[in-house]
Chains A and B, each alone.
Chain A
Amino acid sequence: EPEVTQTPSHQVTQMGQEVILRCVPISNHLYFYWYRQILGQKVEFLVSFYNNEISEKSEIFDDQFSVERPDGSNFTLKIRSTKLEDSAMYFCASSETWTGSETQYFGPGTRLLVL
């Protein structure tokens, strides 16, 4: 069964450092997303991406964040200068069509710890 994969599973970084989180969405999916979940809190939407551009972004997704689809399979989230409050689980998701009403399938997440 096709699944979303994410690497690394865990990332520890120093405050102010850049991190790149990687995702491989399901191969025939066209819509990609990043969410985050701070420990003990709700899942929060960060950004959606379609046709090589950002479709929507939340207030959390400020200038420190960027997304890219560098090739036909990978989808990345970059945090330019990490802050302590960026520590969270980051989930990538993908959905099949651009209509947006299709189910979003999630990866296993990357646990980011900023020291």
Chain B
Amino acid sequence: EDQVTQSPEALRLQEGESSSLNCSYTVSGLRGLFWYRQDPGKGPEFLFTLYSAGEEKEKERLKATLTKKESFLHITAPKPEDSATYLCAVQAKSNYQLIWGAGTKLIIKP
């Protein structure tokens, strides 16, 4: 069964304190792995798509990496506005639906 597990469930950091969020997945043939940001009461906002192991993508303070079993979202010198829930989702080659993790709630304290 295709599955996505994110850790930790919640992460509190001081402003400027770098860290990483983990997304472990099992899928029968990966078509793509997606990272989204979700603010309370809002829809998921697209951040990155990764397609193959070894791939890396960066956007401002965020960097996403992918291996055959997991993905990391690295956040460097975060600011309070980076506070949100970060969602990971995978898409299997057999279909087009996204299978989601439960998310990591990130809180950045000034």
A: which residues have CB within 8 A of B? 4, 6, 31, 33, 35, 41-45, 48, 55-56, 58, 89, 91, 100-101, 103-109, 111
A75 CB to closest chain B CB (Å) equals: 15
**Residue B42 is within 8 A (CB to CB) of chain A in the complex:** yes
A106 CB to closest chain B CB (Å) equals: 4
Q: Which residue of A lies closest to B101 (CB)?
A: A42
Q: How far is the CA of A91 from the CA of B96 in the complex (A)?
A: 16
What would 13 more interface pairs be, CB under 8 Å, given A42-B102, A100-B91, A103-B49?
A4-B43, A6-B43, A35-B98, A42-B100, A43-B87, A43-B89, A45-B97, A56-B96, A89-B41, A101-B31, A103-B46, A105-B46, A108-B42
A-B contact pairs, 20 of them (CB 8 A): A41-B102, A42-B103, A45-B97, A45-B99, A48-B97, A55-B96, A56-B96, A89-B41, A91-B44, A100-B31, A101-B31, A104-B46, A104-B98, A105-B46, A106-B44, A106-B46, A109-B41, A109-B42, A109-B43, A111-B41
Task: Point out which of A41, A91, A103, A108 has the most chain B C-beta atoms below 10 A from its C-beta.
Answer: A103
The majority secondary structure among interface residues of chain B is: strand
A106 touches B43 (CB 8 A): yes
Q: How far is the CA of A56 from the CA of B97 in the complex (A)?
A: 8
Given contacts A91-B43, A103-B34, A109-B43, contact A44 B95 (CB under 8 A): no
Chain B residues within 8 Å of chain A by Cβ, number = 24
A23 CB to closest chain B CB (Å) equals: 11
